[in-house]
A and B are shown apart, each in its own frame.
Chain A
Amino acid sequence: MSHGLLLSFEITILVLAIFLGFEVISKVPTLLHTPLMSGTNAIHGIVIVGAMLVAGADHKDTLTTIIGLVAVVLASANVVGGFVVTDRMLEMFKKRERKEPDS
């Protein structure tokens, strides 16, 4: 596939993703806005894929690899932290009461 053609496809899915995003997110109630933020936070941790590709490629110089690896560290913190924090939050949202733990 030529570069120009690929670019046109990329722009197409980008624009479709914008509409999909607005559509899906407008259905999230304000009750869950914090988990939404933190959940989308986890999702943009997908840059870890980019970080792996850059860090893992066979490079001419080591600086590129080092910067790439730092990116891997940051992105992994983003991914793991994002999903764990969101899970902790969502675990707390309950419809009915349960036994009061400590307070």
Chain B
Amino acid sequence: MSRETTNLLYLITIVTFVLALRFLSNPATARRGNQIGAVGMLIAIVVTFLQDSVMSYWEIGVGMAIGGTFGAVAARKVRMTAMPQMVALFNGVGGGAAALIALAEFHNIAPDPGTLQKDISASLVLSAIIGSISFAGSMVAFAKLQELIGGRPIVYPLQQATNGVLFAAVVAAGVAIVAGTERQWLMWALVCGSLLFGVLFVLPIGGADMPVVISLLNAFTGLAAAATGFELENNVLIVSGMLVGASGTLLTILMGRAMNRSIANVLFGAFGQLAPSAAGAAGAVGTTDGQVRSASAEDVAVMLAYAHKVVFVPGYGMAVAQAQHDVRALADLLEARGVDVSYAIHPVAGRMPGHMNVLLAEANVPYPQLKEMEEANGEFGRTDVALVIGANDVVNPDARNNQGSPIYGMPILNVDQSQQVVVLKRSMNPGFAGIENPLFLNPKTVMLFGDAKQSIEKLAASVKAV
């Protein structure tokens, strides 16, 4: 097959990918879009097999069988609550593939230094660097989300200086390669340095900032794929990679905006470090303001059962306790009693963009009940009870009122505007960021301590008894 024909056939794939993204604008068509994208991918693979330059069919087929089986099994088996780490994992292997392609290409060409065009060597270097960072960073993110290593930020002295020097060294190696020092060892050193940088770069970033990190790494892998397209002079790689790059970048910006923090602050701020002083200050104010009132499940059940409008505010605590099905069951009971139930979803609740939506969808919550922040905030004034399930920072009124708070300026769900607030929480330990939450001291608020799943089960039992 000629290259012209191949390129035109690849265009079909490009169109299916654009359609797949287009169909994602509506939940009713999204699934079909994804299937169209999968067909497009299949076309690209078949077309590539038919190229004259592609020989070793057997080896490639076996490789695909191994990788594909692993992907399919992992994707089928994973629980919905483990979705963030699964997304990180698949993102990482894509980045790793891009880096390996660069290594292999370079290894193939390097015996004849000087034969590389500058733009090709620049693309090789870029995809090696970005792909390696994406691979290593995603693996660290995976390990953090899977709790193989602690979710808290890991910090040590001179961290940013170390990272800066390492990154400068990697860039220097890249520049040397493009400038003509086409040495094997230099490329290997570049890849190793980038891998190390990827690890060090994600390590200090805490769990609550994961939505930003995952989106960013997604963008990185897209960019690495686009760079691979330049080194192989392949249109489908350039366009698809860049579509993903644009998507990841946009999501990263949206997540940063939802936290009112610059991306640089998320990446280099090591959030946990800021907390102690701020927590001390806020704590001092808190003790004079009021005290925590805790309630029994029976009290809260009566409150819910006789309300007109109840809004559930889920957070990462719901995901940890895997309470989404019980939440849905409780909502069903309340709806049967004529209570209007909806869910208020903060954009950065959970560990990846849209995390809560997926969990609640798994529990068969109809998506029209899932309200985005803006819409939800318009409704709290008419809400009788806001039930906060394992969310903390995203409902902290300090973000609105206390200029000294590290999260000041972050858009929040204004649950304190509803008649009553019930907070389900394991204990009075401050949340991830270690920031006190004056919402808990608000006279409108009662706390229901315990594991979210058990608390919701108790609430459901008590609502039945009302």
**Contact, CB under 8 Å: A34 / B352:** yes
Q: Can you name the residue of chain A whose Cβ is closest to the Cβ of B362?
A: A92
B71 touches A81 (CB 8 A): yes
Which chain B residue shows the least CB distance to A27?
B25
9 shortest interchain CB distances as A-B pairs: A21-B246, A76-B67, A81-B71, A33-B354, A56-B54, A103-B325, A80-B71, A33-B353, A72-B63
Would you call B364 and A100 a contact (CB within 8 A)?
Answer: yes
CB closest chain-A residue, reference B350: A34
* Residue-wise interface mask of A (75-88) relative to B, using a CB-CB cutoff of 8 A (1 in contact, 0 not): 11111111111111
Known: A37-B352, A59-B108. A47 touches B87 (CB 8 A): no
- When distances are taken between beta carbons in the complex, the residues of chain A under 8 Å from B83 are 34, 38, 85, 89
Q: Which residue of A lies closest to B347 (CB)?
A: A30
Q: In the complex, what's the smallest C-beta–C-beta distance from B69 to chain A, in angstroms?
A: 8
Q: Note all chain A residues with C-beta closer than 8 A to B241.
A: 44, 46-47
Whether the Cβ atoms of B97 and A47 lie closer than 8 Å is yes
Q: Which of A18, A30, A85 interacts with B90 by CB under 8 Å?
A: A85
Which of A18, A43, A51 has the most chain B CB within a 10 Å cutoff? A43
Q: Is B154 an interface residue (CB 8 A)?
A: no
**Chain A CB within 8 A of B397 CB:** no
Residue of A nearest to B78 (CB): A85
| Interface of A, helix, strand, loop or mixed by DSSP | helix
Question: Given the complex of chains A and B, what is the CA–CA distance between A25 and B104 in angstroms?
Answer: 33
B56 at the interface (CB under 8 A from A): yes
Which residues of B are found within 8 Å of A89, using beta-carbon distances?
80, 83, 358, 361
Which residues A34-51 have CB closer than 8 A to chain B?
34-51
Closest to B135 in A: A74
B339 to chain A, nearest CB (A): 16
Query: What are 10 contact pairs spanning A and B, CB under 8 A?
Result: A37-B218, A37-B352, A45-B94, A51-B100, A56-B53, A68-B101, A69-B59, A78-B94, A84-B76, A103-B325
| A85 contacts B87, C-beta separation under 8 Å | yes
Instruction: State the B residues within 8 Å of A (CB).
Output: 10, 13, 17-18, 20-22, 24-25, 27-28, 30-31, 33-35, 37-38, 41, 44-45, 48-49, 51, 53-57, 59-60, 63-72, 74-76, 78, 80, 83, 86-87, 89-91, 93-94, 96-98, 100-101, 103-105, 107-108, 111, 117, 119, 214-215, 218, 221-222, 224-226, 228-230, 232-248, 250-251, 254, 325-326, 328-329, 332, 345, 347, 352-355, 357-358, 361-364, 366-368, 370, 372
B29 to A: closest C-beta gap in Å: 10
Given known A-B contacts A10-B230, A20-B18, A56-B55, A72 and B64 have beta carbons under 8 A apart: yes
A85 CA / B367 CA spacing, docked (Å): 19
Q: Most chain-B Cβ atoms within 10 A of its Cβ — which of A19, A34, A59?
A: A34
Q: Which of the residues A46, A47, A76, A84 comes within 8 Å of B75, measured between beta carbons?
A: A84
Contact A64 B104 (CB under 8 A): yes
Give complex CA distance A43, B60 in Å.
Answer: 20
Residues on A with beta carbons closer than 8 Å to the beta carbon of B38: 42, 83, 87
Cα of A6 to Cα of B83 in the assembled complex, Å: 41
Q: How far is the CB of A86 from chain B (nearest CB, A)?
A: 5
